[in-house]
Structure 1
């Protein structure tokens, strides 16, 4: 990476991302979306000229998530309502992203839990949604509507939710200067 390009970037978050050692870049971006192909594609596009260029690349590469990559990425995500354990950045992000769910009414949370069980039986995986800023009622409505999806459609919906989570988390990486 040429030093002159990194120096020309005025966004301190993008400058930091451009300057990360390869191993550090992989670690930080795997916390955003744990798909090796996606992380490597972003790594290979560095340096980024600005925030828009980085977020556009994040979005573009996340739009091609495969069904196998969905299954792999789901392994890093807790169920909605289960608190991520540990003090890692990813665990802290997860707890914050689900904070709206924790504030919901008990009857909504109970119905949500029942819906998750049904979802897991139907699709063989956890229900995943970009929960940030969404209420328990909104999440329950989303879950219930997705139960009508066929498996292929649901896989694409989950891939898109992973994309949304990745964009949100990369924003957090950029703001961590």
Structure 2
């Protein structure tokens, strides 16, 4: 199989109320559905914040993956300190290339930050990228709602030619 599922920052720390109001309460259930049906390489990426007060800082409970990832059997797990999964502790591009992976399926947190940045870099590197938008979520930011930010991410990625925007059902039941 030449597709990899990459789950980005699906961590307990994003349940902290300090993030504010989020969108897509079904994101975790859709991530669990993706995991239950996925048969190709699986990559789990974790944000390891360097900020001392961050719930995503290593050693904090918030740095751990959410329960929906319990039982997952990833082929690769690594941390990163920036938005793109391609700029983490592992050379993701080399790892994917070494396995002949040309297609990426992305889901996780935050839609308009780490998921979008990873999709943009992946698209620039020549991967066929699909972002499973209903398996992502984000938070209100400045004067934009989380829903507006998610729609803007979809428009940016699709309109810029970085990625296809799909739903969980498109991945789980591709023939429908």
Give TM-score scaled by structure 1 length.
0.21
Larger strand percent: 2
The structure with the largest alpha-carbon Rg is 1
